[in-house]
Amino acid sequence: MPGFRRWSKSKFERNPESSFKLLAAVLVITLYLIIKEFQHPTVRIREASTFGSQIQHTQWNGTGKAQETRAKSVRDAMRYTFLKYRENAWGCDDILPVSGGNSSSRNGWGAFIVDSASTLALMGLWDELAHSIEHILAIDFAEVQDLVDPFETTIRYMGGLLSIVELYDVGLIPEHVLHEEARDLILEHAITLAEKLAPAYDTPTGMPWPRIDFETEQGEPDPSFDFHNDPDKREYDHPVIGPARTGSSILENRVLTRLTGNDVYARNSTLAWAPLVWSKWATPWAGMVDAPIDIMTGAPVGRSRQWDGGHDSYYEYLLKITLLAPPSDPHLEVYKKRFLLAAASLRKHLSSRSAPAPKHLMQHLFIGRQDDKQYKNQMGHLACFAPGTILLASKFYDQSQLRSFALALLDGCRHTYTSTPTKIGPETWSWVPKFGYDDPLFLPENERQRKEALESGFWSTESQYKGRPEYVESLFYAWRITGEQRYREWAWEAFAAMEKHCKAPFGYAQLGDVYDTGNSKWVDMQESYWAAETLKYLWLTFTDVDVASLDSWVFSTEGHPFRMIR
């Protein structure tokens, strides 16, 4: 502030005596403010990132440099993934990595291309990105066959498009790959998509329809969640939706509002999750919501309460919107409070230590789920996002008790990886809880599960690996926030296992059984999040810690980086 310095200097020169009084007054006031701050510390949620309070670890002393060989191996995996898709399935949503066929289950706009673009940009794979941008500019979102899922479309397509604009705007993408007019066209595309998704919000509550028909411009219920044929044979009066589907659009729409100056996007996605954030239906556990929820009334009509698949990214976005939203957002304190309450409830009611097993005396912390007043001792790979997200909160909100909780959960996720012959963790697993639950719902059912339980203290209930990112995503947060080298080692072990067992003729296959080391158990599927998230988080773990710093970027639930602007 040069202006201020000039002013005070001239005052001092003109009249030393009055400036002494001034100095004394300033000292007294400062002292008063310091004492007051000690008595009633201000909650620093806003100032935290405005004035650069660190999320990432700071005392690196040279240890935060890139591990070049490892980073290159992951980048090579991305190039291989891209090349095989480009040669065999260009323009389709996904390649089938074993057969070289293709699938178009994401409405056929080339989901892989849009979803992987921010990974290509961060890795500096410019030829690949230039090729992708050509396709992206030519997408016609009006051309569509199936019903559109607003949740998947927002996180994969809209998030992917907006992230490219954001990365361009900070100068990360060279002009020969993306020039300004093309950047503007990509933003136009995001707007077109948002306008096509708009009918989703046409409900009495503002909660989104689970599907939209682009032809009729009408919302539709989720055909796979037939509300007349719920697994529990319940009948609902109206279409229902889960917390993740209704509560994971605010980051993307916030960014779109910032880039366009049009408030409608942020406003609609705020309304979309309002019945969860400001729930007037009392839930027994503070901060946590019951699901599914009736989109016409906003009332919870089921009693499922958890942080696993279907609920996960609602909690993730409660935290992340407080990092991303502008200070003028009046709801940030509410979001922060809801997140902290929900994290405390998760710890108190759902986390459970495994009892020691005969051949494995260590105990591990897992998170179960509550369904209709019954605790279920089952956890899914998706829930391994929780350690990273809670660790991020512990740093940003300065909550040290959440840090040890998060790192213990991460240790539990790692244990599922290191316990299998492939060194990759299963899709879902169960354990015998050490405390509090005399009658666990799930027990080992067959010889195989009994053997797994005996050896590791947990047993797989679904033994596939679906290329999912959540474990390595949490390792990325743990590495960047704690600076402890072991998280890089764990990430390298996981990547080496994926390279060994998943690499297939046309990409990276999913595994039918992580307890089987033979390639015969490949599943001919590769979801776009493999490139959007799994490879991105691995690469970010091995590259220099200044790349896409957590002090400047917020990663969406699909791994797309958005700028933190304060």
Ligand X SMILES: *[C@@H]1O[C@H](CO)[C@@H](O)[C@H](O)[C@H]1NC(C)=O
Q: Which residue in the set 141, 151, 157, 201 belongs to the binding site for ligand X (CB under 6 A)? A: 201
Cβ neighbours of residue 308 closer than 8 Å, sequence gap 6 or more: 367, 369, 379, 380, 382, 383
**Nearest approach, Cβ of residue 106 and ligand X (Å):** 14
* Choices 195-203, 309-317, 440-448, 454-462 (CB under 6 A): range interacting with ligand X: 195-203
Q: For residue 68, how many other CB atoms are within 10 A of its CB?
A: 11
Matching residue, tokens 């089938």: 96
Give the CB-nearest residue to ligand X.
Answer: 198
**Nearest approach, Cβ of residue 193 and ligand X (Å):** 10
Annotated catalytic residue: which of 146, 152, 329, 462?
152
Q: Which amino acid is at 94?
A: D
Q: What does DSSP say about strands 378-380 and 351-353: parallel, antiparallel, or unpaired?
A: unpaired
With contact defined as beta carbons under 8 Å apart, do 356 and 363 qualify? yes
Helices (H), 216-351: 243-246, 250-260, 264-277, 312-324, 332-345
**Nearest approach, Cβ of residue 203 and ligand X (Å):** 8
Instruction: Specify the residue, 8 or 218, whose C-beta has the smaller distance to ligand X.
Output: 218
Q: Does 296 bind ligand X (CB under 6 A)?
A: no
Q: Which residue in the set 111, 187, 194, 424 belongs to the binding site for ligand X (CB under 6 A)? A: 194
Instruction: Specify the residue, 102 or 482, whose C-beta has the smaller distance to ligand X.
Output: 102
Site for ligand X in 344-373 (CB under 6 A): none
Annotated catalytic residue: which of 94, 115, 427, 527?
427
Encoded tokens for 169: 């705007």
**Nearest approach, Cβ of residue 202 and ligand X (Å):** 5
- Write b or e for each residue in 135-169: b if 16 or more Cβ atoms lie within 10 A of its Cβ, otherwise e: bbeebebeebeebbbbbbbbbbbbbbbbbbbbbbe
CA–CA separation, 269 vs 75, rounded Å? 35
With contact defined as beta carbons under 8 Å apart, do 243 and 311 qualify? yes
Annotated catalytic residue: which of 166, 294, 452, 470?
470
Q: Which residue in the set 268, 322, 430, 464 belongs to the binding site for ligand X (CB under 6 A)? A: 268
- Residue 473 designated active-site: no
**Nearest approach, Cβ of residue 149 and ligand X (Å):** 16
CA–CA separation, 389 vs 315, rounded Å? 9
Instruction: Specify the residue, 104 or 461, whose C-beta has the smaller distance to ligand X.
Output: 104
Count interface residues toward ligand X (CB under 6 A). Answer: 16
Instruction: Specify the residue, 104 or 363, whose C-beta has the smaller distance to ligand X.
Output: 104
* Choices 125-133, 191-199, 365-373, 536-544 (CB under 6 A): range interacting with ligand X: 191-199
Ramachandran region of residue 467, left (φ > 0), alpha (ψ -120 to 50) or beta?
Answer: left
Helices (H), 143-179: 150-152, 159-169
* Choices 263-271, 347-355, 395-403, 409-417 (CB under 6 A): range interacting with ligand X: 263-271
CA atoms within 13 A on the CB side of 128: 26
- Residue 533 designated active-site: no
With contact defined as beta carbons under 8 Å apart, do 173 and 137 qualify? no
Ramachandran region of residue 320, left (φ > 0), alpha (ψ -120 to 50) or beta?
Answer: alpha
Q: Does 266 bind ligand X (CB under 6 A)?
A: no
Instruction: Specify the residue, 202 or 371, whose C-beta has the smaller distance to ligand X.
Output: 202
CA–CA separation, 103 vs 524, rounded Å? 10
Encoded tokens for 150: 């607003």
Instruction: Specify the residue, 152 or 544, whose C-beta has the smaller distance to ligand X.
Output: 152
CA–CA separation, 174 vs 139, rounded Å? 22
- Between 92 and 131, how does the x/- string for binding to ligand X read (CB under 6 A)? x--------xx-----------------------------
CA–CA separation, 115 vs 103, rounded Å? 15
81 is in an annotated binding site: no
Instruction: Specify the residue, 263 or 489, whose C-beta has the smaller distance to ligand X.
Output: 263
* Choices 173-181, 190-198, 451-459, 555-563 (CB under 6 A): range interacting with ligand X: 190-198
Site for ligand X in 61-90 (CB under 6 A): 88-90
Q: For residue 254, how many other CB atoms are within 10 A of its CB?
A: 24
Q: Does 191 bind ligand X (CB under 6 A)?
A: no
With contact defined as beta carbons under 8 Å apart, do 154 and 249 qualify? yes
- Between 132 and 161, how does the x/- string for binding to ligand X read (CB under 6 A)? ------------------------------
CA atoms within 13 A on the CB side of 99: 8
* Choices 201-209, 226-234, 397-405, 528-536 (CB under 6 A): range interacting with ligand X: 201-209
Q: What does DSSP say about strands 378-380 and 428-431: parallel, antiparallel, or unpaired?
A: antiparallel
Annotated catalytic residue: which of 252, 308, 312, 527?
312
Site for ligand X in 271-290 (CB under 6 A): none
Site for ligand X in 416-435 (CB under 6 A): none
Q: Does 207 bind ligand X (CB under 6 A)?
A: no
- Residue 427 designated active-site: yes
**Closest Cα partner for 208 from 149, 147, 259, 129?**
149
Q: Which residue in the set 202, 493, 544, 551 belongs to the binding site for ligand X (CB under 6 A)? A: 202
Tell me 199's DSSP state: G
Instruction: Specify the residue, 213 or 230, whose C-beta has the smaller distance to ligand X.
Output: 213
- Residue 17 designated active-site: no
**Nearest approach, Cβ of residue 514 and ligand X (Å):** 29
With contact defined as beta carbons under 8 Å apart, do 543 and 488 qualify? no
Task: Name the phi and psi angles at 370, rounded to 5.
Answer: -115, 125
Instruction: Specify the residue, 108 or 512, whose C-beta has the smaller distance to ligand X.
Output: 108
Q: Known binding site for Ca(2+): residues?
A: 557
Residues that bind ligand X (CB under 6 A): 88-92, 101-102, 194-195, 198, 201-202, 206, 264-265, 268
Q: Known binding site: residues?
A: 557
Catalytic residue positions, numbered: 152, 312, 427, 470
